[in-house]
Chains A and B, each alone.
Chain A
């Protein structure tokens, strides 16, 4: 066991944990708003479900980052690589963009999704505009994901 590996794995774990929590909270917010609307208009189920699911992707991005890091470290082959403490911190840092941006953007995207759900309740035809506006928030999670992945792939060790 070495410190470098420990630090890198804490990074991977945080990438899987925090955006996952953010997405869970986000999907929950959307789900509550959608259930409220559905008590009056059950026919909107599919549109509302799509809006509810939108803040769920950050959790997937975090998971993705964790898997790619685990793969890069070669842990899937069953061997523990030797990392210096410095290298461990490098990988930890590479996990941070999606960890932080994923968590926060899921929460903010959920607020937009809730507004879009309320809009859909009043004007079902506007649901696509609501989807697009909600998806715009996700852009920054995607950019953070890509930045993190490019780092993980290119950190030398």
Chain B
């Protein structure tokens, strides 16, 4: 159902502006209309960014058990209280975070140094002994590892000494030493082996000594990192405080950015309020001040009010499906009640296995109970919970339980595909007729009776009549209905065209739309295809599993095939049914009547991202708001 919305113009004395806005935000009644663009950074923006960063840091050290805590509910007064201790906590966490970052940087540098020295740890001399001395030259460096043997040979041939150490990512670590006069010959040899020389920055000690010193420093650093991380671990308990601070800041930012026109003595604001909450709005204002000027009116024709959709508990989750397409326009009929029925009906037909339906419903039910997801994911899961029940019902109609057929059943897609095809197309026809009827209802509501009769009911007659042609006994009636419908369109289809020619032949053009209707109805043959796919793959899995039965080992293999096979079929079936059912709703169904293009009603309210619920308290006068 779409709730009508009223336009609000409100002025109060400047002194009461802040208190009024706070109160409006508390109860979330009024959606403000932006008056002018506001720019500039608020001090809260920076604090919010810092809070979010610290929260992410704390989360890294939080165990899963700590994260899945019970609902976070706070009282309104507690939610709005500015607590300096939260800012202190934030600073402490930031300090620990900065220390951890610095320590990690140092550790990384030390580790890099160790891996630099590691290839040379067997070099028996300190770095100062490398290079030219009075009689000899000593060098260390890397060559390509596969040349080791020929390298040793070549170096020995000119009488130079060498040592071969470990392989490293840079190549094979080697040291060479020779007399000064052999240096040129050695350099030539080294060039052929792609030798690239390394110098050691630490001259006084051997590489092995350097490594052990760095390792000592490293273990000290690791120890202090561990201590700092332990410190941070203690703060994870107070992550709720940070979450509260974050939501609080977002709420303050929203309040500060509220579009209010300031005049010398008064503040003026415009907005939208739900028709059924006008009284609550008045009470929320009088709680703050008695001096105000309030004007409530229906939206003017050129104004675009926001859309408020409100449905019963059962239909509500299906709003998420419509929202994927587009939010309804505020003055059209809410498609959700019809959509919820048809979505489930067609989903059940497509999956069509009672066993699978049971698993879908059970899994979504348990997930909803245990994990308690919020918002969109909760709505999607509820849709699937109901879809599972629809699948159980259709599965019983098909007599299909995990791919096994149990009689008695109404219809069996596998053994009677032609009948199933006809049922699928008939369901499609009814689905489309529902769409046309909703359009007709909208036309009548707006006083366009001729449109409803000529453009909508005529098509209902044609589609219903064509359907009846296939029912023995009703075919004569059906033919008459279809011809009547076609005649109406032929005569009236051109009534809106200009000129005699348009009026005469507009009807033919209108009748040509029959191709569109027929191809839309044929599109419902996918119901048969998908129900067959689930049924046959399930049957094949049972057959494969059955082939192994006989020995104990065979039963185990059979059970594995049964479980894995049906799980695969279930997942692919859900995917196909979900997507193709959506397609039928969006393209075939919505095409007939749905306009969309609304924008959501987002009142000035508390911004809750982490906090699950704020106890708002009762508005004076007794309306209970949660």
Contacts and interface: CB of A to CB of B under 8 A. Distances in A.
B543 A76 contact: yes
Interface stretch (B138-146, B265-273, B528-536): B528-536
A146 B525 contact: yes
Interface in B578-619: 579-580, 582-583, 586-587
Given A54-B579, A64-B537, A132-B587, A146 B529 contact: yes
A146 B421 contact: yes
Interface in A51-80: 53-54, 56-57, 60-61, 63-64, 67-68, 76
Contacts of B575: 50, 53-54
B526 interface: yes
Chain A interface category by residue count: 20 to 34
B564 interface: no
B525 A142 contact: yes
A149 B532 contact: yes
Contacts, number: 60
Contact of A57 (B324, B418, B576, B586): B576
Interface string A117-157: 00000000000110110011011001101100110010000
B540 interface: yes
Given A57-B572, A131-B582, A136 B525 contact: no
A46 B583 CA distance: 19
A142 B526 contact: yes
Contacts of B579: 50, 54, 131-132, 135
A60 B583 contact: no
A128 B582 contact: yes
Contact of B529 (A50, A67, A129, A142): A142
Given A50-B575, A60-B572, A135 B533 contact: no
Contacts of B523: 139
Contacts of B421: 146
Contacts of B418: 150, 153
Contact of A150 (B324, B325, B417, B583): B417
A56 B417 CA distance: 24
A60 B537 contact: yes
Contacts of A50: 575, 579
A131 B585 CA distance: 13
B571 to A, nearest CB: 9
Given A64-B537, A149-B532, A128 B525 contact: no
Interface string B147-187: 00000000000000000000000000000000000000000
Contacts of B324: 128-129
Provide the main secondary structure of the chain A interface: helix
Nearest to B424: A146
Nearest to A126: B324
A121 to B, nearest CB: 18
A128 B578 CA distance: 11
Contacts of B536: 64, 67-68
Given A60-B572, A64-B536, A143 B583 contact: no
A130 to B, nearest CB: 11
Contacts of B583: 132, 135-136
Contact of A145 (B529, B580, B586): B529
Given A60-B537, A139-B526, A142-B526, A132 B532 contact: no
Nearest to B522: A143
Given A67-B536, A153-B417, A132 B526 contact: no
B422 to A, nearest CB: 12
A135 B532 CA distance: 18
A150 B525 CA distance: 12
Contacts of A138: 580
A143 B525 contact: yes
A120 to B, nearest CB: 13
Contacts of B582: 128, 131-132, 135
Nearest to B568: A60
A129 B540 CA distance: 34
A56 B586 CA distance: 22
Contacts of B526: 139, 142
A145 B417 CA distance: 13
Given A50-B575, A56-B572, A128-B324, A135 B537 contact: no
Nearest to A133: B583
B543 A64 contact: no
Interface in B81-95: none
A68 to B, nearest CB: 7
Nearest to A68: B536
A53 B537 CA distance: 17
Interface in B476-532: 522-523, 525-526, 528-529, 532
Contacts of B532: 64, 149
Interface string B384-424: 00000000000000000000000000000000011001000
A146 B528 contact: yes
B471 to A, nearest CB: 21
A60 to B, nearest CB: 6
Contacts of A56: 572
A61 B533 contact: yes
Contacts of B576: 57
Contacts of A145: 529
A57 B578 CA distance: 13
Nearest to A60: B533
B533 A67 contact: no
A60 B532 CA distance: 11
Nearest to B320: A128
Given A136-B583, A139-B526, A149 B543 contact: no
A38 B111 CA distance: 31
A132 B543 CA distance: 34
Given A60-B537, A146-B528, 18 more contacts: A53-B572, A54-B579, A57-B533, A57-B576, A64-B533, A67-B536, A68-B536, A129-B324, A132-B582, A132-B586, A135-B579, A135-B583, A136-B583, A138-B580, A139-B523, A145-B529, A146-B525, A150-B417
- Please list the 8 inter-chain residue pairs (A to B) with the smallest Cβ-Cβ separation, ordered nearest first: A128-B324, A142-B529, A135-B579, A142-B526, A135-B583, A131-B579, A132-B583, A145-B529
29 contacts: A50-B579, A53-B575, A54-B575, A54-B579, A56-B572, A57-B576, A60-B533, A60-B537, A61-B529, A61-B533, A67-B540, A76-B543, A128-B324, A131-B579, A131-B582, A132-B583, A135-B583, A136-B583, A136-B587, A138-B580, A139-B523, A142-B526, A143-B525, A146-B525, A146-B528, A146-B529, A149-B417, A149-B532, A150-B418
Interface of A: 50, 53-54, 56-57, 60-61, 63-64, 67-68, 76, 128-129, 131-132, 135-136, 138-139, 142-143, 145-146, 149-150, 153
